[in-house]
Chain A
Amino acid sequence: MAEKERLDRQTIALRVAKEFQDGDVVNLGLGIPVLASNFVPAGREVIFHTENGALGFGEITLPGEGDLDLTNASGQPVHPQPGMSFFGQAESLAMMRGGHLDISVVGAFQVSEKGDLANWATLEKQLTIGGAMDLAEGAKRLIVAMSHTTREGQCRIVKECTYPLTALECVDLIITDIAVIEVTNQGLVLKEFAPGWTPEEVQALTEPALVIVPECQEMTLM
């Protein structure tokens, strides 16, 4: 099969941001997720949370601008905005673990068909846990944003995770560069596929069987 065009990182982030509803409190993990803060639909009021201890801050500043005492968890300065609050890490993690965040978006190495998440370590590297396990435990809705396969073409959506687990049965939605897949009790439901792709082509790059519902459609990005 010839290489088909996949969504780039920015476009995956744009699709992620479509999930944010008015009033949602949202935590964005490193990588693709953090880019989603720039694509919140106009007029929608979303409160962003960061592990280091802030809620309700604005967009990432331009490089070289901003206050270095006001950064997100990736260390990027963000704009202050009305309604913003500061707190310590204990409070911040309590919000995460205690189910006070509506949506967490995280990157992943693997997701299983039951929604098990592996996103803190590979088989070779086990050197950063951070808030990944706390987020996975506590988020009301956990969205994974990742590329559908590894660079070598291996499936990241698998029957059983082979990488070290972050948490069991925690993922609700998977948004990749070729598909949007919901984790349900009936299995993985293919909701959307990237422009130019077919459900069968997505299935071919997904280890577990996908449930293909009549509503399954091409991704709309705007």
Chain B
Amino acid sequence: MPINKIVGSFDEAVADFFDGATIMVGGFATVASCPSFLLQALARTGVKNLTSISNTGGFGPDIWAIQGYKVTEDIDILARNGMVKKVIVSAPASIMLENNLGRQIKAGEVEWERVPLGTLTERIRCAKAGIGAVYVPVGSGTVIQEGKETKVIDGKVHLLEYAIHADFALIKAHKADRWGNLTYRKATRTVNETMAGAARVTIVEVDEIVELGELDPEAIVTPGVYVDRVVQRPKDIDESIAKDEREVDSRVTESHRKFMETWKGKAKKEG
């Protein structure tokens, strides 16, 4: 039997998710490196009490639509649908814009494990690499140190940071073949590359599936050994996404307006 990790639909790819599962979700500051279609499929399953590991808490589709992204769903969809009970997240909210996860953490509805971005990444990498824990100097003397074992290495206090294990990892890549080899586009590898292989099951959303042999072996960033399932985004995003007639949240518009003014101020100065 030829190896074939390609799954026919996003719903099929997340069909075995269960209540109480621990999941990793790729992405960074913007929606560009988010597995948006997988997240939407996960929301359709209605599973609850997830523990979620990610860089950020997401902001929802409005902010991305304004900026011209065609695929706009980020990890906010989980908080918005009340699917999360605990998060291990580096930046669950922003000073720029209030979001659902930030509100839920403040209200005590969701437990937040605080973690610096680099420590989060290394803890995920530990799980992928079969390492139980690592000593990291970041966070010593801060709230991050609370309750952790420490060791002085080269005169610096290091914190013992344990691997983060998960049932599923949902990630986004650019191209894949049926072996699950992956390439990424520009600055979108982010944490996707690290999460690949860090969970029991790794599920990848890609822009395009290509024939085996088409990916340059020198350009493959994630070897297929880390990947279990691959799903392709619809070829024509414009047609596949139902026209969304909902009003954009006025708070989103306002925060984005401020952001753009700073940005334009710079352009004016130069121009």
Q: Do A and B bind each other?
A: yes
On whether the beta carbons of B138 and A127 are closer than 8 Å, the reply is: no
Residue A216 is within 8 A (CB to CB) of chain B in the complex: no
CB-CB nearest in chain A for B221 = A88
Q: Which of B91, B141, B187 contacts A52 (CB 8 A)?
A: B187
Residue B51 is within 8 A (CB to CB) of chain A in the complex: no
Total interface residues in chain A, CB < 8 Å: 49
Residue A132 is within 8 A (CB to CB) of chain B in the complex: yes
What separation, in Å, do the CA atoms of A10 and B193 have in the docked complex? 36
Given A88-B193, A90-B125, A129-B91, residue A69 in contact with residue B32 (CB < 8 A): yes
CB-CB nearest in chain B for A121 = B143
Q: Which of B90, B192, B221 contacts A130 (CB 8 A)?
A: B90
On whether the beta carbons of B266 and A10 are closer than 8 Å, the reply is: yes
Q: For A134, list chain B residues within 8 Å (CB).
A: 116-119, 138
Residue B260 is within 8 A (CB to CB) of chain A in the complex: yes
On whether the beta carbons of A88 and B190 are closer than 8 Å, the reply is: yes
Interface centre among A35, A75, A165 (most CB of B within 10 A): A75
Residue B92 is within 8 A (CB to CB) of chain A in the complex: yes
Total interface residues in chain B, CB < 8 Å: 57
Q: For B187, list chain A residues within 8 Å (CB).
A: 50, 52-54, 57, 69-71, 86
Query: Shortest beta-carbon distance, A137 to chain B, in Å?
Result: 5
What separation, in Å, do the CA atoms of A166 and B121 have in the docked complex? 18
Residue A150 is within 8 A (CB to CB) of chain B in the complex: no
Q: For A68, list chain B residues within 8 Å (CB).
A: 30, 32, 67-69
Interface centre among A62, A63, A134 (most CB of B within 10 A): A134
On whether the beta carbons of B116 and A131 are closer than 8 Å, the reply is: yes
Q: For B44, list chain A residues within 8 Å (CB).
A: none
Residue B149 is within 8 A (CB to CB) of chain A in the complex: no
On whether the beta carbons of A89 and B191 are closer than 8 Å, the reply is: yes
What separation, in Å, do the CA atoms of A155 and B97 have in the docked complex? 26
What separation, in Å, do the CA atoms of A97 and B118 have in the docked complex? 8
Residue A128 is within 8 A (CB to CB) of chain B in the complex: yes
Q: For B137, list chain A residues within 8 Å (CB).
A: 97, 137
8 Å CB contacts to B: which residues of A73-130? 73-76, 86-90, 93-94, 96-97, 125-130
Q: Which of A35, A62, A90, A127 contacts B92 (CB 8 A)?
A: A127
On whether the beta carbons of A127 and B105 are closer than 8 Å, the reply is: yes
Q: For A9, list chain B residues within 8 Å (CB).
A: 262
CB-CB nearest in chain B for A164 = B143
Residue B194 is within 8 A (CB to CB) of chain A in the complex: yes
CB-CB nearest in chain B for A10 = B269
Query: Shortest beta-carbon distance, B185 to chain A, in Å?
Result: 5
Residue B189 is within 8 A (CB to CB) of chain A in the complex: yes
On whether the beta carbons of B189 and A87 are closer than 8 Å, the reply is: yes
Query: Shortest beta-carbon distance, B143 to chain A, in Å?
Result: 6
Residue B264 is within 8 A (CB to CB) of chain A in the complex: yes
What separation, in Å, do the CA atoms of A155 and B122 have in the docked complex? 36
Query: Shortest beta-carbon distance, B102 to chain A, in Å?
Result: 5
8 Å CB contacts to A: which residues of B240-267? 260, 262-267
On whether the beta carbons of A90 and B194 are closer than 8 Å, the reply is: yes
Q: For B68, list chain A residues within 8 Å (CB).
A: 64, 68
Given A89-B121, A133-B116, residue A74 in contact with residue B29 (CB < 8 A): yes
Interface centre among B105, B119, B122, B187 (most CB of A within 10 A): B187
Q: Chain A residues in contact with chain B, CB under 8 A?
A: 9-10, 35, 38, 50-54, 57, 60, 62-64, 67-71, 73-76, 86-90, 93-94, 96-97, 125-134, 137-138, 164-168
Chosen A-B contacts, 5 in total, with CB atoms closer than 8 Å, are A90-B125, A129-B90, A129-B144, A131-B116, A167-B140
3 closest Cβ pairs, A-B complex: A93-B118, A88-B193, A134-B118
